[in-house]
Amino acid sequence: MQLKFWPTTFVLVASVWISCCCSNEEIICSDWKYISCTNSKKIRVDDVIYGHVVGRNECNTQPTTNCTASNGFCEVAELTEGRQASYWLHAREVINPPPCGGTDVYIILTYSCVTTLTLSDENFALKKPAKQSKTTHNGFATNAVDGRTSRQYYSGSCSHTDEETAPWWRVDLQQRIAVTHVKIANRDILGKRLCGFEIRIGDNLKNNGTKNTRCGVRQHIPTNQVKDFNKHLLTPNRDS
């Protein structure tokens, strides 16, 4: 059984279930606004539109062309994901300079409020064989499953690939099991590098595992945080 991630990932555990409520949509225009969840629930970012798109005439805009920030999802998620209340958000301040020259810019944030409940601490990936596309800065693939939980990079428990078009990391669980929960920890600095990755689960190593079932795309973990991927987030979908 292989678990595989793009791009670089760090720690993997099978342990947590997340219950969530329905999705919410928040529109941020020219005023400062922050997002929050109640009852100790945490924000999970589902989608972000940052800029403006034809047909979404938010904030009294009438865009005639589509213009969105390619890194809008990562930048907004870095300020909101996994928090009970986000940092203050402003459509012209989250990215500097803002997309579209700052003209008719808004943020449409779709998010859910989730509750984390620990079910088991068993780590099926612990000290199992791990590989990655390339290794730099002594960030060996096996560091990510050494059992230590430090997110400080130079403590030696984080993996590190090179700057590549399609970097990957994988671990062989050495047994066939139903994977329902995955936990990944992001490093304490430069955490935005771990954004937009996907998770694949299966036994096929052809083309570096790209034929395995894809269970979640466009994933993000904020700097120095741990994120639990459970059956709500590990939704199988096949490439077309």
Residue 58 CA to residue 41 CA, distance in Å, equals 28
Q: In which element (H, E) is residue 37 found?
A: none
Q: Do domains 2-17+120-237 and 18-118 have the same CATH topology?
A: yes
How far is 161 from 9, CA to CA, in rounded Å?
9
Q: Which element (helix H / strand E) includes 219?
A: strand 219-220
Q: Which residue's entry shows tokens 């989250």?
A: 94
pLDDT of residue 231: 55
CATH code of the domain made up of 18-118: 2.60.120.740
Tell me the backbone φ, ψ of residue 236, rounded to 5 degrees: -60, 140
Strand, helix or coil at 198?
strand
Does the global pTM surpass 0.85?
no
> According to the model, what pLDDT value does residue 4 have?
45
Per-residue pLDDT of the chain (240 residues; tens, 9 = 90+): 445 444 433 333 332 334 445 689 999 998 999 999 988 888 888 889 999 999 988 999 989 999 999 889 888 988 998 889 999 999 999 998 999 999 999 999 999 888 765 445 578 888 999 999 999 999 999 998 888 878 888 888 888 988 888 888 999 888 877 677 788 888 888 888 888 888 888 888 888 787 787 776 667 888 888 887 765 555 555 453
Question: May I ask the CATH class of domain 2-17+120-237?
Answer: mainly beta
pLDDT of residue 78: 87
How much is the pLDDT for 90?
Answer: 95
The full set of domain ranges for the chain reads: 2-17+120-237, 18-118
